[in-house]
Amino acid sequence: MSATRSPKVSERVAPKAADPQPQKKKHDDDDGPDFATLFRAWIESHRASLVDSLRRLGKQPIGSFFTCMVMAVALSLPMGLSLLLSNVERLGGSWQRAAQISLYLEIEASPAQGEALRDQIKGMPGVAEAEYVGREQALEEFQQQSGLGEALKELPENPLPGVVLVTPTEVDKPALEALRQKLSELPKVQQAQLDLVWVERLAAILKLGDRFVFGLTVLLVSALLLVIGNTIRLHIENRRTEIEVIKLVGGTDSYVRRPFLYMGALYGFGAGVLSWGVLAFGLDWLNDAVVGLAGLYGSDFALAGVPVADGLSLLLGAVLLGYIGAWIAVARHLRELAPK
């Protein structure tokens, strides 16, 4: 009887002794969570920080709006001046056209020779455009502009030569002088005239405008960083006790910093949107007066709006400035909030 029972007992005991599963499970637990779990936790942490920042800004809508509005004004001024300079450049046709080189041809040069010379000049390096003005056309334009139409009719012959107007590709004094010298050596050209004084004045005006916009941009960006830094500092002070408790229970600096960085980026995003709207509205409002003034001079000129590329660059720059300002403010005050 005992012989018949022992196999059953051994059958019940053997599987337990040979089961390797518990050891494998213990080994898997020692490896920790996999990458997918860690990534989901990271996404959830950022989502929670973003939602918390939105909720806190939503609790103070008026204060948040005025903070974004102050930042928007600081962003709008340099961008608006830059857009106005671009429109002024477009109003003049182009700065290159303002630096035209006038080639006065010999009196005996025929219209066919003048047109052939124009075609030759168009293919030369450094030339953007060339236009031939014949002797008769030049006389008609002079009669209209001078007001001496009746007196000029008494002349025995047309004293004006044909002219080729050459528009350079760039406004650079040495390059323009070299181009003028080269054009003056062409056949049938009696004189090549270039108003270098006007070119120098034009270059000085452009340089002054660029420096003014750059200096204003630096000042207003610095003011914007101060505004966002002071705003984030107030948020940190309001949550001082909460932050100290988080650090006492083991919260890392990055965990504490993350909601404020999202808050700075949100301030920047709101300021960028408002700045884009302010610029679009301001240019549209100013355009009515510009169109009326241009109409008095027989021109159809109108101010161009904010290009989409410039608007997106403004929006991205505002977000980055908000993020940087928040980072500076948090880095400065985070050391003061270490648990004692």
As a whole number of angstroms, the distance between CA 278 and CA 269 comes to 14
Contacts of 70 (CB under 8 A, 6+ apart): 227
Mean pLDDT of 316-330: 89
Q: Beginning with the edge strand found earlier in the chain, give each strand of the sheet holding 163-168 in spatial order.
A: 127-133, 163-168, 101-105, 189-194
Amino acid, single-letter form, for residue 143? Q
Convert the pLDDT of each residue in 221-240 to its tens digit: 888 888 888 888 888 888 78
Q: Which of 2-6, 18-22, 195-199, 243-247 shows the highest mean pLDDT?
A: 243-247
Res 275: pLDDT: 92
| 292's tokens | 């009326």
What residues does each domain of the chain span? 46-93+203-337, 100-194
Alpha-helical (H) ranges within the chain are 2-18, 21-30, 35-59, 61-91, 95-98, 111-122, 135-146, 149-152, 173-184, 196-238, 240-248, 253-296, 308-334
CB contact at 8 A, 85 and 128: no
For the domain covering 100-194, report its CATH number. 3.30.70.3040
pLDDT in tens, 228-284: 888 888 888 887 877 778 777 777 777 888 888 898 899 999 999 999 999 999 888
Q: What percent of the chain has pLDDT over 70?
A: 76
Burial of 295 (0-12, 13-18, 19+ CB in 10 A): exposed
